[in-house]
């Protein structure tokens, strides 16, 4: 996977995905943004082409969505990234859909060497949503997927 999403405080975890993605819905408190319909989809690298991991979610807040940070991390770490660590990761691209809502997508390439260097098994996707009025919602397991062993 791309080295640009490695978080050193997370023991050098890189992003990996697998076919076993599932959706998760998280409703924020009344004062924070909401995260819904989160999914992680993985396409394995094959001969002559890279694969990818794509995270997609619908986010909303009355004031609008300012930023959505995304980080995949292996379940074998047993400790999720923290809200503070999420500030250092890359953002998803969000397309406004009206009424303070947006559809956000983050895609990262996955190479054969990335797969070989990363642990197999269950991976989780952590998400930090920040609204335009400064409210935020952190979900350490917004989506999950299983890598090939």
Looking at residue 31, its pLDDT comes to 66
Find the mean pLDDT for residues 2-15.
32
CA dihedral defined by 132, 32, 126, 106, rounded to 10 degrees?
A: -40
Q: Is the pLDDT at 32 greater than 80, yes or no? A: yes
Binning pLDDT at 50, 70 and 90, where does residue 28 land? very low
43 versus 17: which is more confidently predicted? 43
The residue among 22, 46, 57 whose CA lies nearest residue 110 is 46
Binning pLDDT at 50, 70 and 90, where does residue 105 land? very high
CA dihedral defined by 138, 86, 73, 131, rounded to 10 degrees?
A: 40
Looking at residue 74, its pLDDT comes to 94
Q: Is the pLDDT at 79 greater than 50, yes or no? A: yes
Domain boundaries, the chain: 3-147
* Cβ atoms < 10 Å from Cβ of 35: 26
Looking at residue 9, its pLDDT comes to 27
CATH class of 3-147: mainly beta
Query: Cα–Cα distances in Å, from 89 out to 30, 78, 83, 100, 110?
Result: 26, 19, 11, 23, 17
**Cβ atoms of residues 140 and 85 within 8 Å:** no
> Residue 16: which residues within 8 A CB-CB, separation 6 or more?
1, 42, 53, 72, 74, 110, 114, 115, 118, 119, 120, 123, 147
């Amino acid at each position: 996977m791309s080295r640009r999403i490695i978080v050193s405080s997370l023991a050098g975890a890189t992003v990996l995905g697998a076919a076993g993605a599932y959706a998760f819905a998280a409703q924020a408190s009344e004062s924070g943004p909401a995260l819904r319909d989160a999914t992680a989809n993985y396409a394995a690298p094959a001969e002559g082409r890279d694969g990818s991991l794509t995270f997609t979610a619908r986010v909303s807040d009355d004031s609008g969505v300012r930023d959505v940070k995304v980080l995949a991390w292996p379940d074998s770490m047993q400790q999720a990234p923290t809200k503070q660590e999420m500030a250092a990761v890359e953002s998803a691209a969000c397309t406004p859909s009206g009424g303070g809502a947006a559809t956000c997508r983050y895609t990262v390439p996955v190479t054969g060497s990335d797969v070989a260097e990363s642990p197999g098994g269950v991976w989780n996707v952590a998400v930090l949503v920040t609204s335009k009025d400064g409210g935020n919602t952190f979900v350490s397991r917004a989506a999950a997927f299983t890598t090939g062993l």
